[in-house]
């Protein structure tokens, strides 16, 4: 294991200390717990949006806490859920009189802890709603059973924008729901990653082998085989996405080309060019392209392709709304 | 070699096609040459700042072309200089009546080609000045012979801000010079990278071996040895930087923690926390911390630490000026 760290058992907390020290005007923690990550710029009367999940996916999850996006994040250990108490304390801090939306990835441990936090809020008479990102097309044929991966970015953007517009809790939930219904992702890995406290990768890939459809925690994909070209991967990924969410010529989409950690920005733009070329040929119009690291798996090499259909004008306005966090700035 | 690419020989141009397709409102190319990379938002009467260098360092170099930063970039092949003709054509396109500042890294091939481009501009009666980033402390004891690495970000910021303030060519040069005099960088690598057309790395590191002080093209460093902790690397790097540029207690600096490509953002923040801790103990005040990928070496694992001393209030204003490019947005 080659990593720039101190003690493996301090990985998450050392990271958090670095983040708080670098961005003190934007984020803070509460309950004397580094893992209760909150905006430092609470806005009265706004629906509070709270996410959470394991460490190891930066900028997911905490990186989207900031202006016109999210308000708080429960931070778990590497690939582990935050506790219900942590989520509850974040919610108590950032709740601003208009209720709480829990918006996170579709993983069993997270669901359990967010649901318990919702019950705790209910006892305090704080209204909450929950929605999970479940965009990973190849993780399950059943849309409700799919894992949440990079496409949650579009749920954050739409819900965050609606909350910034001072929408009600139901309206913010509906914005997230609209983004969810219109977002699909396919990912592929060229290398595994190493969980610091384990010290070795939890699966292996041979010298010229890749894994197609695998998850951001190393969940098995649909095939392992020789590394394909960017064009081939773009084609195969879009075929899966479009089989699940057909797009007619003339429809508009946003595209997110997400690096899983070790893949260079050069490669991401090569892949982005291939995706664009295929969409152009099909007559699908690209409203906006996002390229970079949005949901990673530490130093895993690979990428994911997310497509978010622009269902209406309102969605485009949400996507276009400026946003500002320590990890993501859009003007 | 595991990369998301098509043909290795098309690496640079495929990347550029992807970038232009993703950001058509911000950047364009001229002279029918993808590698003549220019802002699409030219501003009349402003000093034009032009950079350039080899591909493989995104967001360096072209990623800093945009609002309140640079105006154009000559793009070379992987780790190769752009040609003098390419630089000249970029300059002719973005020059806006106030002259041209060439601002790039201190590498022999680049110097030769930028100097030739300056001569070509001179024949067209277009004034130009040149300055090179040379911040890599460990590359040479002689400050003029040092390589330019991630610290050029601060030169871009200061020169870009002064140009945006409609400063004269001499004033913009002076802003870059002020940043240069106050910026130092030390870097270290955990793994090498692979040049696509070679297909193998140009050096090797053993399972637990790292290289301290090495360059972003794999230039040899000052030692190869067992991987150290983030705290040890922060300490050793700052000792080198502060030996070269002493800082008194009470002085203010900006810090840039730069990932070389494959290193996770989690690790960069762990390193950032260690750097901050040391500066705090010395009484050096951190005005602003930048963490992320600013100058990479494709999929090389490792990081660099840059310190930029805030010499006066004006410098802080330049650093704080908003900026917006396809790769870097600051509000």
* Residue that wins the pLDDT comparison between B290 and A215: B290
Chain A residues with beta carbon closer than 8 angstroms to that of B231? 6
The first and second tokens of residue B74, run together, are 């000559």
What digits encode the pLDDT tens for the residues A125-171? 999 999 999 999 999 999 999 999 999 999 999 999 999 999 999 99
Q: Chain-wide mean pLDDT for chain B?
A: 97
Residues B60, B119, single domain; the answer is yes
CA angle A59, A65, A71 (to 5 degrees): 155
- For helices B313-320 and B169-181, give the axis angle rounded to 10 degrees: 100
Residues B230, B165, single domain; the answer is no
> Is residue A2 in a domain?
no
Nearest to B82 by CA among B62, B110, B111: B110
Looking at residue A228, what DSSP letter applies? P
> Is residue A270 in a domain?
yes
Q: CA B238, CA B52: separation in Å to the nearest integer?
A: 29
Q: Does A68 touch chain B (CB under 8 A)?
A: no
Say if CB B331 and CB A66 are below 8 A apart: no
To which residue do tokens 């890939």 refer? A205
Say if CB B211 and CB B188 are below 8 A apart: yes
| pLDDT of amino acid B203 | 87
Positions of A annotated as catalytic residues are: 57, 217
Overall size of chain B counted in residues: 331
To which residue do tokens 């220019």 refer? B38
| pLDDT of amino acid B218 | 87
SS3 of residue B188 by DSSP: strand
Q: Does the predicted model carry a pTM greater than 0.90?
A: yes
Residues A175, A196, single domain; the answer is no
Q: Which domain holds residue B121?
A: 8-181+323-330
Say if CB B221 and CB B211 are below 8 A apart: yes
Q: Do A233 and B4 touch (CB under 8 A)?
A: yes
> Is residue B2 in a domain?
no
Residues A162, A202, single domain; the answer is no
Residues A227, A156, single domain; the answer is no
At residue A91, φ and ψ (nearest 5 deg) are -60, -45
> Is residue A262 in a domain?
yes
- A166 backbone φψ class: left, alpha, beta (φ>0; ψ -120 to 50): left
B88 HSE (CA, 13 A, CB side): 16
Residues B187, B169, single domain; the answer is no
- The percent of residues above 90 in pLDDT, for chain A, comes to 97
Residues B134, B226, single domain; the answer is no
Residues 137-156, chain B: which have Cβ within 8 Å of A? Answer: none
Q: How far is A18 from chain B (nearest CA, A)?
A: 4
CATH number of the domain residue A88 falls in: 3.40.50.10440
Residues A144, A281, single domain; the answer is no
Cβ burial of B80 (10 Å; 0-12, 13-18, 19+) is middle
What digits encode the pLDDT tens for the residues A237-295? 999 999 999 999 999 999 999 999 999 999 999 999 999 999 999 999 999 999 999 99
Cβ burial of B201 (10 Å; 0-12, 13-18, 19+) is middle
When divided into structural domains, chain B yields a total of 2
CATH number of the domain residue B270 falls in: 3.30.1180.20
Residues B58, B175, single domain; the answer is yes
Residues A27, A41, single domain; the answer is yes
> Is residue A113 in a domain?
yes
> Is residue A1 in a domain?
no
Q: CA B180, CA B144: separation in Å to the nearest integer?
A: 11
| pLDDT of amino acid A202 | 78
Q: CA B317, CA A324: separation in Å to the nearest integer?
A: 20
The residue of chain B nearest to residue A13, with distances taken between CA atoms, is B270
Q: Does B230 touch chain A (CB under 8 A)?
A: yes
Q: Does A327 touch chain B (CB under 8 A)?
A: yes
Quick one: three-class SS letters along A291-321? EECCCCCCCECEEEEEEEECCCHHHHHHHHC
| pLDDT of amino acid B149 | 98
Order of strands across the sheet that contains B128-133? B27-29, B36-39, B72-78, B48-55, B100-105, B128-133
**Beta-carbon neighbour count of residue A316 at 10 Å?**
15
Residues B292, B276, single domain; the answer is yes
Q: Do A5 and B233 touch (CB under 8 A)?
A: no
Predicted ipTM of the assembly? 0.98
| pLDDT of amino acid A211 | 97
Q: Would the pLDDT of A1 be above 90?
A: no
Q: How far is A197 from chain B (nearest CA, A)?
A: 14
Q: Do B276 and A21 touch (CB under 8 A)?
A: yes
Q: How far is A86 from chain B (nearest CA, A)?
A: 20
Per-residue pLDDT of chain B (331 residues; tens, 9 = 90+): 899 999 999 999 999 999 999 999 999 999 999 999 999 999 999 999 999 999 999 999 999 999 999 999 999 999 999 999 999 999 999 999 999 999 999 999 999 999 999 999 999 999 999 999 999 999 999 999 999 999 999 999 999 999 999 999 999 999 999 999 999 999 999 999 999 999 988 789 999 999 999 988 989 899 999 999 999 999 999 999 999 999 999 999 999 999 999 999 999 999 999 999 999 999 999 999 999 999 999 999 999 999 999 999 999 999 999 999 999 999 9
Say if CB A245 and CB A307 are below 8 A apart: yes
SS3 of residue A119 by DSSP: helix
Cα A93–chain centre separation: 22
> Is residue A211 in a domain?
yes
| pLDDT of amino acid A201 | 87
Chain B residues with beta carbon closer than 8 angstroms to that of A60? none
> Is residue A71 in a domain?
yes
Pairing state between β A209-212 and A183-189 = antiparallel
The dihedral through the CA atoms of A206, A209, A210, A215 has a sign that is negative
Q: How far is B298 from chain A (nearest CA, A)?
A: 5
Residues A16, A158, single domain; the answer is yes
Q: Chain-wide mean pLDDT for chain A?
A: 97
| pLDDT of amino acid A91 | 98
Q: CA B136, CA A77: separation in Å to the nearest integer?
A: 36
Residues 147-206, chain B: which have Cβ within 8 Å of A? Answer: 190-191
Q: Does A293 touch chain B (CB under 8 A)?
A: yes
Q: Would the pLDDT of A27 be above 90?
A: yes
Task: Mark whether B217 is an active-site residue.
Answer: yes
A300 HSE (CA, 13 A, CB side): 34
């Amino acid at each position: 294991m080659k990593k720039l760290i101190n003690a493996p058992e301090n990985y998450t907390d050392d990271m958090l200390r670095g983040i708080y020290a670098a961005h003190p005007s934007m984020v803070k923690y509460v309950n004397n717990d580094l893992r209760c990550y909150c905006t430092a710029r609470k806005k009265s009367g706004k629906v509070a949006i709270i996410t959470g999940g394991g460490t190891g996916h930066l900028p997911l999850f905490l990186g989207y806490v900031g202006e016109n996006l999210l308000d708080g994040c429960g931070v778990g250990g590497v690939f582990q859920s935050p506790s219900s108490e942590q989520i509850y304390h974040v919610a108590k801090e950032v709740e601003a009189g208009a209720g709480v939306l829990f918006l996170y990835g579709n993983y069993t441990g997270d669901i359990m802890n967010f649901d318990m936090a919702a019950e705790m809020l209910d006892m305090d008479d704080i209204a909450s709603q929950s929605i999970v990102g479940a965009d990973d097309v190849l993780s399950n044929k059943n849309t409700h059973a799919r894992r949440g991966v990079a496409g949650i970015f579009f749920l954050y953007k739409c819900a965050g924008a609606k909350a910034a517009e001072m929408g009600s809790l139901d309206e913010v939930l509906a914005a997230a729901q609209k983004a969810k219904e219109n977002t699909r992702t396919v990912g592929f890995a060229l290398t595994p990653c190493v969980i610091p406290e384990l010290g070795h990768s939890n699966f292996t890939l041979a010298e010229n082998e890749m894994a197609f459809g695998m998850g951001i925690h190393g969940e098995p994909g649909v095939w392992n085989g020789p590394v394909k070209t960017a064009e081939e991967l773009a084609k195969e990924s879009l075929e899966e996405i479009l089989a699940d969410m057909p797009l007619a010529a003339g429809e508009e989409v946003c595209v997110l080309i997400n690096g899983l950690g070790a893949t260079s920005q050069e490669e991401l733009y090569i892949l982005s060019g291939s995706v664009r070329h295929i969409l152009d040929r099909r007559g699908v119009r690209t409203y906006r392209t996002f390229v970079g690291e949005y949901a990673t798996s530490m130093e895993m090499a690979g990428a994911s392709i997310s497509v978010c259909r622009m269902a209406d004008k309102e969605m485009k306005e949400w996507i276009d709304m400026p946003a500002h966090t320590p990890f993501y700035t859009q003007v």
